[in-house]
Amino acid sequence: MANAERRPHVIYSDSGEFRTGFFTPAPKFDSLSFMSGVILSDADRSYLLRRMRQQTASPVHRRMNVLLLLDDGWTAERIAEALFIDAETVREHRRLYQQQGVVGLERLAYQGAECELSQQQQAELCVELDRRIFGTAAEVCDLVEARFAISYTANAMSKLLGRLGFVYKKPTKVPAKANAEAQKKFLTETLAPLMAKANPENPLYFVDGTHPTYTAHPVHGWMRKGKTRELPSNHGRTNININGALSWPDRTLVWLPAAKITSLAMIELFERLEALNRTATAISLVIDNARYNHSAEIKAYLERPGCRIRLVYLPAYAPNLNLIERLWRLMKKEVLGNEYYPTFAAFRTAILGFLDNIGDYQAKIASLITDKFDIIGVSNPQPP
């Protein structure tokens, strides 16, 4: 492609007027004239143009700018004057491209300073970080200074922690009495086979209630630095009770509002499920060990002639194995996170609106509710 055909490309929207002024006249002496004009291949030029539009100002950005201007026929001295660099730097960028191509332009030779902690000290620090959760980088600085007599700023420590593979996040709250082995056994011997054979003749449901409270539910979000965003909060003494059953594998939800989740509320849900599955021979319900799920009323219902409900009790303290818990978390995230409802009626309408229009969330539900389960109680806990 001829050089004249390449010039219409514009890198900066506001640069045209600027460059027709003071910097337009070329100097009489051009020490790099033999290198200027049509030095890039068509592919490299297209690539640099694309990358220039994507990158913010940086050393790599400046190198690309230099090569594109050389390719447009600018002299080294003119480019140096326009970009506030020296002509020799322009030549260095040209030689870099000549020797290493576009890859060389995008590679920075800078190497960070060597870590002040030795490899052994870094390993010891990692052991301590795995054992105990530190709330701030400053706390880690205090530990390092006390143990190794090496001082770090909080900012430098944050960067070191990132290089060591640590991120800043909250731990996941789990039941203290969770039994990992019991969960694994239940998953392998009971739940996985039930999920594999679930069909219209033998439907499988995950059952549990949810009790969203009428108050603020703050979650992480992007805010302006240095600014505080307020989320009005109510007293939180009022809630909504929803009893639900989530089918597997089609992930449809059957739900009923309840004044309170009791044995009678559970029986009402059982009756609804039996009515919806008239041709099923047995309806398996994965359910937790709440007291009302073991009541005399529940036992009497299950002992009725022709009852098709089969309760499958989860191991104690294992909500992670109940798929409907994931749906309730999604509901709270979509409806309650960082939202303020001025009246309880508006709050209730929002909750019921999610349930009535749950089909709008099918893509998220399919991604979230799978046959992959985490086992809780196996990672290192925070020491007392």
What are the φ and ψ backbone dihedral angles of 356, each rounded to 5 degrees?
A: -70, -25
Q: Are 351 and 240 in contact (CB under 8 A)?
A: yes
User: DSSP characters for 47-75?
Assistant: HHHHHHHHPPSSHHHHHHHHHHHHHTT--
Residues 124 and 201 grouped into a single domain? no
Q: Angle, to 10 degrees, between the axis of helix 76-83 and the axis of helix 87-106? A: 80
Q: Are 90 and 79 in contact (CB under 8 A)?
A: yes
Per-residue b or e along 172-186, where b marks 16 or more CB atoms closer than 10 Å to that residue's CB? eebeeebbeebbeeb
Residues 313 and 184 grouped into a single domain? yes
pLDDT of 14-36, one tens digit each? 333 333 333 334 444 444 444 44
Instruction: Tell whether 230 is covered by a domain.
Output: no
pTM: 0.64
Instruction: Tell whether 10 is covered by a domain.
Output: yes
Instruction: Tell whether 191 is covered by a domain.
Output: yes
**Would you state the pLDDT for residue 32?**
46
Instruction: Tell whether 169 is covered by a domain.
Output: no
Element (H, E) at 354: helix 344-356
pLDDT of 102-147, one tens digit each? 888 887 655 556 788 999 999 999 999 999 999 999 999 999 999 9
pLDDT of 261-275, one tens digit each? 999 999 999 999 999
Residues 210 and 327 grouped into a single domain? yes
Residues 157 and 47 grouped into a single domain? no
188 pLDDT exceeds 70?
A: yes
Q: Which of 328, 324, 322, 369 is nearest to 351 (CA)?
A: 328
Domain tally, the chain: 3
Residues 86 and 155 grouped into a single domain? no
| Residue listed under structure tokens 């319900």 | 285
Q: Are 96 and 104 in contact (CB under 8 A)?
A: yes
Whole-angstrom distance, CA of residue 284 vs CA of residue 286:
7
Residues 352 and 205 grouped into a single domain? yes
Domain housing 123: 119-163
User: What percent of the chain is predicted at pLDDT more than 90?
Assistant: 60
| CATH number, residue 331 | 3.30.420.10
Residues 201 and 334 grouped into a single domain? yes
